[in-house]
Amino acid sequence: MINQTLTPPLTAEALPSDADPDLFAENDGYLNCNPRDIAFHNLVAEDFRTHGSDAFSQGFWVLFWHRFGNRIRDIRFRPARMPLTLTYKIGNKLSEWMAGVMLPYTVRVGRRVRLEHFGGMILIAQSIGNDVTIRQNTTFGIARTDRPFDRPVIADGVDIGTGAVIIGRVWVGEGAVIGANAVVTRHVPPHAVMAGVPARRIDVEAP
């Protein structure tokens, strides 16, 4: 017997104990939000290896332009940054068209993130942690137009299935699994397995 437990709604007063409130902070795009524990060229090389060392991997190129868009934030002299900003905008738009993935540079993205397959991805989260796997037709974003910065935070090691939707100011805990076509609007405990519409926890046996 499976206990399909619907977790309580996430509010500013009810963050789970494993959540980092700082990750919900709005990113104004002024600072470089690439991981700070690794140099840019090493980060790009790591992304390349994460995507099977495949130079034709759409996921790698989406992440490359995301990393590049953040790296140029470190150039404070605006005339020097302007041609690089133009390069980023062109490269990022081409990767959106060719890969079908929208990943703004204002989204904080950790290390060894893997974009499996490609297409139909709208990844407008506040933060995506390390070692996260995301599959095609996944949507991260807001739940209400009057709360434009209420976006999800994806913790380390989360595995997200095809067609999943994660919206609103929700925390997806470390190591959680989001099943195909699940719709997540409430916080997810660490290592939980979520499925369905709305998403419910299905990995806990009833007493």
pLDDT, average across residues 140-147: 89
207 close to 189: Cβ distance less than 8 angstroms: no
Helix axes 40-50, 58-71, angle to 10 degrees: 170
Domain ranges of the chain: 21-201
Select 21-201's CATH number: 3.40.50.1010, 3.30.360.10, 2.160.10.10, 1.20.1260.10.
2.160.10.10
Q: What is the pLDDT of residues 77-93, one digit of tens each?
A: 999 999 999 999 999 99
Q: Within 13 Å, how many C-alpha atoms sit on residue 159's CB side?
A: 9
CA separation, residue 85 to residues 24, 80, 103 (Å) = 26, 9, 16
Cα 148–Cα 152–Cα 158 angle in degrees, nearest 5: 160
Give the H or E element holding residue 194: strand 193-195
Contacts of 60 (CB under 8 A, 6+ apart): 47, 48, 50, 51, 54
Q: For all residues of the chain together, what is the average pLDDT?
A: 90
At residue 146 the predicted structure's pLDDT band, cuts being 50, 70 and 90, is confident
**Quick one: tokens of 138?**
């996944």
**177 bridge partner residues:** 159, 193
- Residue 80: what pLDDT? 93
Question: Model-level pTM greater than 0.85?
Answer: yes
First to last CA, the chain: 9
